[in-house]
Structure 1
Amino acid sequence: MNRDSGAPGSVPLESFRTEGGRPRTHPLELTLLWLVAAHLVFLPWALGTMRLWAQIPSLIAAALALVLALLPRTYTEAYTGGPAFKLYAFPKLLRFPIFWLGLALLGLVTLHGLNPAWEFRTDGKVWWMQGIPHIEWLPSGVRGPFERWGPWRMLMIYAAGWLTVCAIWVGFTRRRSLQRLLLVLGVNGIVLALFGIAERLTGAKKIFWFVTSPNEMFFASFIYKNHAGAYLNLALAIVCGLGGWYYLRGVRRMEKSNPSGVFAFLATCIAVSVLVSYARGATLITLAYMAVVVGAFVVHQWRLPREVRNPLIAVALLVLFGLFVKTGWDSLNADRAWERLQRAVSGQDVSVEARQIASRATLDALEKNWVGGIGAGSFRFLFPVYQQNYPDIRKRNGRGMYWEHAHNDVLQFPLEFGVPGMLLILGGFAYWGVALIRSAFWQNPVSAALVLGAILMLVMAWGDFVFQCPAILITWCVLWVFAVMWARFEESRRG
């Protein structure tokens, strides 16, 4: 019997359910699971995948994952508990809207590279951009050194994210595979958080204590502390989602104990690490996220029947985590982080003011290039044209300022992609949104936690360039497919 791989809850997945217990996971799916896990774990530890030496293996791993996901699988009675059949994933890939939207977006980026309107020139001392002939009615980009990014470099990063999302969508047929991968990412996040705290405690001057950072504002394995804080917030969403799922499962099964308390403790560790990273935007996002999670927990406790409700446990957990946060605050000099956060909120921080001015300059560029955009990865090459109109962001301490990014992804992406690219991106958002609503994602904690974390990352992107970091971008994209697939698996179980 031949079958194609449908969405979670379709006929092939029903065949996996046996009355004798949990069915075994197919070896190809297990191999795919560990390949994707290794790839996603690698991303943050490779300096956030901001360097070419990390982006190349990332692309290779993503491509191998999709190839592995598309291999036909033979399911024998040992894996189904019923009739054997062969599973083909390729038809499911062709029915996946994100596959086509992503393919079109990659085609647009390729066009940016093939139709450059500007060329990088240098005399060895200074550089400038020279206008060159191009097809004016087509979207265009820049031609520059590969090591300075530009369309071709961005094509690698976007392709890695697209391939990974497609591989997970067509290759994972079991909720248990998603659960395992989320556990791996959650553990990776807590290890990263503890590593960052260790750097702070030892006063490390270099990443890993031996890798020189291009700036002093690094944290954990990330060159830029705000990127570290943003990634840790994604890990926080994963840990909170799993903790909520284990907690509700324990209540439903009337278990005497479950791992939810451990996950709550780990979430607190991650929150403390974000605080001591001195990443102000990430700290605000963490505070907002934790406030929603704690509020949801209190509401759930209040709505439980009296015979099930146990307020003493809830109070004990809150007190315990409060003491832990206080201990971390005192031992890690978190007062400095809080002072920086207060200056940012009150508008007294010079760097925040500079970003606001840069956003205005980016908006000027967007008003002139909103139709076709300037090309993926082209901001750093063309922004000086608009930067010169704002003296406050031209120089600092007598030295010229070079803006690689707008520190505002909500403006930079439309500037680089124009109307065609943004329609494709918004189309992807629309698909995920409809799929989540149809699956009632708010009814299960994993999907709800992941969606909340992903949305708050968009809020953070208004004041920083979080999505210019491949580790964050790819992981963030993966959270959406996790949220949808988990919601559908839960829906099929309820049905």
Structure 2
Amino acid sequence: MTIENSGKSKAAVTPLDNSSILQGCYYALLALIIWLPIPLGSNRPWAWSIMEVVSFVILAIVVARIPSKAFTEQIRAYWPLALGMLLFLLYQFIQLVPLPVNFVKALSPNTVLVQQHANISSDWLSIAVDSNQAIIATLKACSYFAVMLSVLLLVTDFKRLKYLLIAIIIACTWQGFYGAIMALSGQEHSFFWSMNNNSTANGSFIYRNHFANFLIMGLAVGLGYLVATLDKDSIDKPSRRERATRWLTSLVSGKAALRIALAIMVIALVLSRSRMGNTAFFVALTITGVLAFILLRQKSKSLGILLISVLIIDTFILGAYFGIDKVKTRIEQTTVANEARIDFNEYSWQLVELFPRVGTGGGGYYTVFPLVQGEDVNAFLDHAHNDYLQFAIEYGIPATLWLGIIVMVSLVQGIIAMRRRRSKMLQGLGFATTLAIIGMLLHISVDFNLQAPANAAYFHIVLALAWIANNGLKSKKARILKH
């Protein structure tokens, strides 16, 4: 693996105890990453409370132990992402602040009507129609930001980057293995959490589409890591001995284990029976693969073989055995007439029209959907089956566009990294983040994956890694953060 050359650091080294503490924070971050999906995708109050406390403590210690000059140098390359997400967090806090009722009425007349209908009569009202839900959503968002910022501050060398990617792969492989085993076991209840079990895989997640979305990010990171370790094409045709040596080396280096991990995740993705989950992954993989062939400076036959093996071998051999035909059938049977979530989204669009500027506040969809719910909808919804719609409803169109810009700029960072960076690891990281972001953008058009804390936290990590791929690890500056 090629690692970019770097000069000696000119930064002053802090005392050893600071380095030891920061190293401990880094390992605590890895532990948190592995833990997040296990307790029902952290989608229970007690589970996301653990996420919040641990992430806040990690970030607080890291910021306290890093000298201001080193902090500035480390975050300089990532400031657009950090500032962009910080401004969105600030807006979430503003939604909670009581404002003069006439000012709120000028921004969003329907917000005042909703709160007055709920017998909230005051000269001061918040933009958030449900303050309790908005507080919960804001604390979660702060936790995601803390995880993202911790990654940007602590991943300061290739060794740490490698361990972070391995932690993600381990977490996603375990979920894939557990989900596949449960789906094939025939057990009435899951081994953990005592959930109802059937032939559809959902791992330790409550909702199979959240599980499928989580696997998309894991597959993206795993494939990116594998791309980073692909051998360069040799001018001379390798002998049998050289081919045998390479094969044995790949077994010893862990490539075989990684390939098995990817196969497990593909099987689990198919077993999830998630239509858009499977579609989003393979469409994103195709797009990213084409981009890789165009952008990577040192392309190899191994890259083509890898992509073909995932698209053909994993899909049509492993997938055929484990039920991709059932996914295909579900996709073919999907029509506008029988897809209830389309009706939900039609009503949700009315909420966008009612609260276009400032939204209803985080978690507000839960409160305001009954205002437009038709008689034909018997279900009780706490989320829109479309994250674009839910963000527009809860935070308004301008804030949603702001978030969209941040994500798209991060996507561009990953794409550029494939072309610009010389390190194979960073090129592979660019591949991984491009695949993950495209997959997420496709999948959230029909589901609420970013409402699951584990998925949202992992996506923030993906955004951070996209910026690291294109702008980070240029030198060994800020060695105070290194173990």
Q: Same fold (TM over 0.5)?
A: yes
Instruction: Please state how far the C-alpha of 1:422 moved relative to its aligned partner.
Output: 2.7
Aligned-partner Cα distance in 1 for 2:413–2:43: 32
Render the CA deviation track for 1:407-439: whole Å, top value 9, x for unaligned. 011111011101453354245336535655775
Q: 2:85 aligned to 93, 102, 112, which one?
A: 102
Aligned-partner Cα distance in 1 for 2:114–2:234: 62
Aligned-partner Cα distance in 2 for 1:102–1:410: 17
Amino acid at match of 2:395: F
Q: Say if 1:221 and 1:119 are closer, same or farther in 2 by CA, change over 3 A.
A: farther
Q: Secondary structure, in 3 states, of the residue corresponding to 2:229?
A: helix
User: Would you say 1:62 and 2:44 are equivalent positions?
Assistant: no
User: Would you say 1:89 and 2:81 are equivalent positions?
Assistant: no
Amino acid at match of 2:27: W
Per the alignment, residue 268 of structure 2 pairs with: 273
User: Would you say 1:415 and 2:393 are equivalent positions?
Assistant: yes
Per the alignment, residue 140 of structure 1 pairs with: 127
Q: 1:469 aligned to 436, 441, 452, which one?
A: 452
Aligned-partner Cα distance in 2 for 1:301–1:379: 43
Per the alignment, residue 37 of structure 1 pairs with: 30
Aligned-partner Cα distance in 1 for 2:140–2:65: 28
Task: Output the TM-score relative to the length of structure 1.
Answer: 0.76
Q: Secondary structure, in 3 states, of the residue corresponding to 1:383?
A: helix
Amino acid at match of 1:188: A
Q: Say if 1:479 and 1:320 are closer, same or farther in 2 by CA, change over 3 A.
A: closer
Aligned-partner Cα distance in 2 for 1:417–1:37: 31
Aligned-partner Cα distance in 2 for 1:251–1:29: 42
Q: 2:118 aligned to 114, 117, 130, which one?
A: 130
Q: Say if 1:231 and 1:415 are closer, same or farther in 2 by CA, change over 3 A.
A: same
**Where do residues 16-415 of structure 1 align in structure 2 (5 Å cutoff)?**
26-72=19-65, 88-89=70-71, 92=74, 96-115=79-98, 130=118, 132-133=120-121, 140-143=127-130, 146=132, 150-212=133-195, 219-248=202-231, 256=246, 257-258=249-250, 259-260=254-255, 262-292=257-287, 314=305, 328-329=318-319, 331-344=321-334, 347=335, 350=338, 353-388=339-374, 391-392=375-376, 394-395=377-378, 401-415=379-393
Aligned-partner Cα distance in 2 for 1:367–1:412: 12
Amino acid at match of 2:263: T
Instruction: Please state how far the C-alpha of 1:208 moved relative to its aligned partner.
Output: 3.0
Q: Say if 1:299 and 1:431 are closer, same or farther in 2 by CA, change over 3 A.
A: closer
Per the alignment, residue 106 of structure 2 pairs with: none
Kindly indicate whether the alpha-carbon contact (under 8 Å) linking 1:441 and 1:487 is maintained by their aligned counterparts in 2.
no
Aligned-partner Cα distance in 2 for 1:65–1:210: 28
Kindly indicate whether the alpha-carbon contact (under 8 Å) linking 1:276 and 1:332 is maintained by their aligned counterparts in 2.
yes
Identity among equivalent positions (%) equals 18
Instruction: Please state how far the C-alpha of 1:70 moved relative to its aligned partner.
Output: 1.9
Render the CA deviation track for 1:129-182: whole Å, top value 9, x for unaligned. 71523568x8611236x5xxx101101210110011111212322122111101
Q: Say if 1:130 and 1:11 are closer, same or farther in 2 by CA, change over 3 A.
A: farther
Q: Say if 1:113 and 1:181 are closer, same or farther in 2 by CA, change over 3 A.
A: same
User: Between Structure 1 and Structure 2, how many residues are aligned?
Assistant: 438
Per the alignment, residue 432 of structure 1 pairs with: 410
Deviating more after overlay: 258-267 vs 283-292: 258-267
Q: Secondary structure, in 3 states, of the residue corresponding to 1:230?
A: helix
Q: Say if 1:441 and 1:35 are closer, same or farther in 2 by CA, change over 3 A.
A: farther
Task: Output the TM-score relative to the length of structure 2.
Answer: 0.77
Kindly indicate whether the alpha-carbon contact (under 8 Å) linking 1:274 and 1:286 is maintained by their aligned counterparts in 2.
no
Amino acid at match of 1:384: P
Q: Say if 1:292 and 1:14 are closer, same or farther in 2 by CA, change over 3 A.
A: farther
Q: Say if 1:382 and 1:32 are closer, same or farther in 2 by CA, change over 3 A.
A: same
Per the alignment, residue 103 of structure 2 pairs with: none
Q: Secondary structure, in 3 states, of the residue corresponding to 2:118?
A: strand
Aligned-partner Cα distance in 1 for 2:288–2:442: 17
Deviating more after overlay: 326-335 vs 295-304: 295-304
Per the alignment, residue 479 of structure 2 pairs with: none
Q: Secondary structure, in 3 states, of the residue corresponding to 1:179?
A: helix
Aligned-partner Cα distance in 2 for 1:9–1:318: 33
Deviating more after overlay: 239-248 vs 332-341: 332-341
Gaps of 5+ in 2: 13-17, 100-110, 236-241, 422-426, 477-483
Aligned-partner Cα distance in 1 for 2:83–2:296: 43
Kindly indicate whether the alpha-carbon contact (under 8 Å) linking 2:295 and 2:418 is maintained by their aligned counterparts in 1.
no
Instruction: Please state how far the C-alpha of 1:456 moved relative to its aligned partner.
Output: 1.9
Q: Say if 1:169 and 1:300 are closer, same or farther in 2 by CA, change over 3 A.
A: closer
Amino acid at match of 2:363: G
Aligned-partner Cα distance in 1 for 2:199–2:180: 16
Gaps of 5+ in 1: 1-7, 17-24, 75-85, 122-127, 396-400
Render the CA deviation track for 1:65-90: whole Å, top value 9, x for unaligned. 2123224369xxxxxxxxxxx97326
Q: Say if 1:419 and 1:338 are closer, same or farther in 2 by CA, change over 3 A.
A: closer
Instruction: Please state how far the C-alpha of 1:261 moved relative to its aligned partner.
Output: 5.0
Kindly indicate whether the alpha-carbon contact (under 8 Å) linking 1:247 and 1:260 is maintained by their aligned counterparts in 2.
no
Q: Say if 1:64 and 1:338 are closer, same or farther in 2 by CA, change over 3 A.
A: same
Amino acid at match of 2:348: T
Instruction: Please state how far the C-alpha of 1:375 moved relative to its aligned partner.
Output: 1.1
Kindly indicate whether the alpha-carbon contact (under 8 Å) linking 1:244 and 1:260 is maintained by their aligned counterparts in 2.
no
Instruction: Please state how far the C-alpha of 1:222 moved relative to its aligned partner.
Output: 0.4
| CA root-mean-square deviation | 4.1
Amino acid at match of 1:41: I
Q: Say if 1:248 and 1:42 are closer, same or farther in 2 by CA, change over 3 A.
A: same
